[in-house]
A = this chain, B = another copy of it.
Amino acid sequence: MIKVAIVGFGNVGKAVYEAISASDDFELKYIVSKRTMDVIVPILKDVSELNNIDVAILASPSRAVPDLAASLLSKGICTVDSYDIHSNIVDVRARLDKIAKENNSAAIISAGWDPGTDSVVRALMLAMVPKGITYTNFGPGMSMGHTVAVKAIPGVKDALSMTIPVGSGVHRRIVYVELQEGADFNTVSKAIREDAYFVHDETHVIKVESVDELKDVGHGVNLLRKGTSGVTANQRMEFNMSINNPALTGQIMVSAARAVVKQKPGCYTMIEIPPIDYLAGDRDKLIHELV
């Protein structure tokens, strides 16, 4: 049994809790959260109280993840996160790799679906078709990052930013806004369209009475590659999915928690992990059933 703690209990933390409950090989020891809640495990207020566990699954906002992971790895506790700030992943990995190696622990970072399992599919496609272009088409689904950016704009009471795939890696943004009383729609709409998150994309802003009525955590992706294997062109492959976003993220983090305890000390992204390590059960049986 892998002794595990969940750090953070928002949408993803709850999905991690569900995925652990549905697995036979984990023992949930603690949840770290400032919320009060109705669960059967001890609730800790701070990660500094964590001890005597194998892995901490960090379901915290990405910006908080590197420091949280560093503090746990330095205590010899393995970590899994779904850190999604793409441009910083190489640096975060280098920082945590050093700490993990010094403290005989291991981390898998960016273990969600993108970055995460999509990254593995992109790596596999590149191994199969070394020359060509891979397009990652997200959605339709809600973008957390874009939604947060809209909510910060003056006059916005609530918002939801949908990512719509137009194809070949291009995305349309449809932003639903609920205005504060007295706010001017045209001013808000212009501010959104000029924001750094939106300025390069086709963006439509729509005023609604209630953002809450639009909420749906469904999401999807289409990964498309066409290119050349050896000297043979026109090799085509794609990966599609239509999923509940937090449920998939939570499940992938739990599968990564299973893998992280099998790794040598260090920090890894998902493309650095043997896929069989994510799976429970007898190795020969898995090879027989999957290969």
Contact = CB atoms under 8 A, between A and B. Distances in A.
A287 B115 CA distance: 10
A65 interface: no
A41 interface: no
Contact of A239 (B16, B110, B237, B250): B237
A19 interface: yes
Contacts of A276: 123, 271-272
A121 B119 contact: no
Interface stretch (A67-75, A85-93, A155-163, A191-199): A85-93
Nearest to A131: B22
Size range of the chain A interface in the assembly: 35 or more
B273 A18 contact: no
B241 A238 contact: yes
A230 B243 contact: no
A55 interface: no
Interface string A255-273: 1000000000000011111
A275 interface: yes
A124 B127 contact: no
Interface of A: 15-16, 18-19, 21-23, 86, 89-90, 93-94, 110, 113, 115, 117, 119-124, 126-131, 228-232, 234-244, 247-248, 250-252, 254-255, 269-276, 278-280, 284, 286-288, 290-291
Q: 8 closest pairs, A vs B, by CB? A: A232-B247, A229-B251, A127-B278, A19-B230, A18-B230, A237-B241, A127-B255, A123-B275
